[in-house]
Structure formats: structure tokens, C-alpha cells
């Protein structure tokens, strides 16, 4: 799931993973001042409760941090080091982050030039949150008169105009609604944890388990049952 969502973002077919925006929500001065997760390989996690299994044998993503630009670079294809995704993260508070990417720098005039996704992070584990879609997105948008929305080429709403604090407040609310919808549907978080790509699948270590548990707790705190 993690690699699929990141790959979808890179190819701008990210309906299930991102929000579009004409507003730059991650100027350099507002990005997180230091890395939230360490540089390394991040691999998927199986299991909703301990013991968790780290799936390190396939589909891990190498992640590096550049302090000077406050950006993460993710290598989407280990066989093609040029197939990368760069994201600029902003904190939304309480362990929730907003990474922003420019999907196609060659199209600066595209109305949804920026693509945004929501991540819960703690220690060396993180979880990608699904975005709101269709009526769920439209319902939330209707309650935010300070933000101007438009439709992209696929008919999805994106942020056409608005102040950054207002849009970030919308996204925090969207994260809560997304988590509640996941609970209603019985869907589990898609969690990645730092490990060694290419090693055998294995039980999570004590430290990995603590980080995974912490990510799950943040999700529960954001959207209490």
C-alpha cells in the first residue's frame, strides 16, 4: 500500500492518496525544522495488534532527508534511482503531518500544481491516510467558506485559493473524518517502519513495536471512537 500510494502520487494518478492544491502549503520557512523519521528503508507492517510482522522482503521504500531544503526524497523504484518523489513536510500538530509534492515540475501552470497527502508519524514509523473522496469531500468542503474549491480534470475538488492556516485546518479535519471512515469500514492503517530492505520478513523488534503502537495511538487520539 505504501509504495502503491507513493507511486500513484509520482504519476499524478493519486485520487486515493492525495489532495490537489493551487496554494503552496509548504514554503521553506514553514516546513518541519528537522526530520520526523530517520533516513533509511521503510517497509510495510502486517497485523493490527502485536506481534506485528515487518514485510522487509519486498516493496520497501528508501527515504532520505535533506536538512538544507527540509525535504524527504523517496526512491520509488530501487532499480531506477532517478524515479524519485520529493516531499516537503509541514506539521499539523499531534503527530499529524502534511507532506507536499510537486508532481510535475514541468507543468507549473497546472491548477493543482501541488499534491498533498496526510501522514501520522512517530519515531521511525509512519502511516499514510486515505483522502476523502466524492460526497465525503464535498460535504466537508461545504463547511469551509473561507476556502475556494475547484474541480480538476478528473472532477475532483482541489484547493483553488485560501489562506494556509484555513486549508491546514481543513486537512486536519479531513484526517479525522478519514480515520473515522476507516473505523466504520474496518480498514487498518497502512504503516511503514524503518528496517533493512531485502531481508526476510520478521517479527517487529521491541523498538519497532513501540513506534507502530504509537502511530496507532495517535490515530485513536485524533478520532476517538
Residue found by looking up cell 521553506 in the block: 28
Which pLDDT tens digits describe the chain residue by residue (225 residues)?
555 555 444 433 344 578 999 999 999 999 999 999 999 999 999 999 999 999 999 888 889 999 999 999 988 776 777 778 899 999 999 999 999 998 665 666 677 889 998 999 999 999 989 899 999 999 999 999 999 999 988 888 999 999 999 999 999 999 999 999 999 999 988 899 999 999 999 999 999 999 999 999 999 999 997
Cα–Cα dist 10/192, whole Å: 18
| pLDDT recorded at residue 111 | 75
Cα–Cα dist 89/32, whole Å: 6
What is the total count of domains within the chain? 1
| pLDDT recorded at residue 170 | 98
| pLDDT recorded at residue 104 | 65
Residue 216: which domain range? 2-222
Bin 66: left if φ > 0, else alpha if -120 < ψ < 50, else beta. beta
Give strand pairing partners of 202.
Answer: 54
Residues 6 or more apart whose CB falls under 8 angstroms from that of 23 comprise 114, 159, 161, 162, 164, 167
H or E element that contains 138: helix 134-141
Amino acid at each position: 500500500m505504501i509504495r502503491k500510494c507513493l507511486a500513484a502520487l509520482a504519476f499524478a494518478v493519486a485520487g486515493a492518496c492525495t489532495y490537489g492544491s493551487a496554494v503552496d502549503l509548504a514554503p521553506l520557512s514553514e516546513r518541519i525544522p528537522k526530520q520526523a523519521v530517520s533516513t533509511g528503508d521503510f517497509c510495510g507492517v502486517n497485523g493490527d495488534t502485536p506481534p506485528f510482522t515487518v514485510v522487509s522482503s519486498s516493496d520497501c521504500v528508501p527515504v532520505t532527508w535533506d536538512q538544507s531544503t527540509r525535504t524527504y526524497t523517496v526512491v520509488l523504484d530501487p532499480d531506477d534511482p532517478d524515479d524519485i518523489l520529493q516531499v516537503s513536510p509541514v506539521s499539523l500538530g499531534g503527530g499529524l503531518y502534511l507532506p507536499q509534492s510537486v508532481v510535475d515540475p514541468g507543468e507549473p501552470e497546472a491548477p493543482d500544481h501541488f499534491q498533498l497527502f496526510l501522514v501520522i508519524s512517530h519515531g521511525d514509523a509512519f502511516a499514510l491516510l486515505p483522502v476523502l473522496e466524492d460526497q465525503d469531500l464535498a460535504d466537508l468542503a461545504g463547511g469551509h467558506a473561507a476556502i475556494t474549491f475547484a474541480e480538476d480534470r478528473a472532477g475532483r475538488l482541489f484547493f483553488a485559493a485560501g489562506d494556509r492556516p484555513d486549508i491546514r485546518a481543513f486537512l486536519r479535519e479531513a484526517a479525522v473524518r478519514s480515520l473515522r471512515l476507516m473505523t466504520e469500514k474496518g480498514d487498518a492503517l497502512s504503516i511503514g517502519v524503518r528496517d533493512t530492505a531485502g531481508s526476510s520478513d520478521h517479527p517487529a523488534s521491541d523498538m519497532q513495536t513501540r513506534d507502530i503502537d504509537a502511530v496507532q495511538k495517535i490515530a485513536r487520539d485524533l478520532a476517538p471512537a
